Amino acid sequence: MAETAAIILAAGIAAMLTVAPQLAHAYIGPGAGITAIGTVIALLGAVLLAIVGFIWYPVKRLKAKLRDKKQAKKEGQGAGSA
């Protein structure tokens, strides 16, 4: 039990050190910065549209199926009363 706690503690410390900000002597020019921002926006937009597409398309088909059933039911009732 103590070994697993030590492993979890070591993994936690390693994860914290990995994501901790460190001094970097680097320069990102405006062209690279705008490209990176544009790429992130495009990626987020693509993921959002994919999620909307995967949700909306089945809902749209279900609505059309229900509408067709309702119209067929109305037509069946209208023909029987005439």
Contact predicate 28/36, CB 8 Å: yes
Q: Give the confidence band of 73 by pLDDT, cuts at 50, 70, 90.
A: confident
Residue 82 lies in a domain: no
Task: Round the average pLDDT of the chain to a whole number and report it.
Answer: 87
The helices-and-strands tally (H runs, E runs) of the chain is 2, 0
Q: Give the confidence band of 72 by pLDDT, cuts at 50, 70, 90.
A: confident
Residue 67 lies in a domain: yes
- As for how many domains the chain has, the answer is 1
Residue 72 lies in a domain: yes
pLDDT in tens, 54-63: 998 889 999 9
Domain with 68 in it? 50-77
Q: Tell me the pTM.
A: 0.46
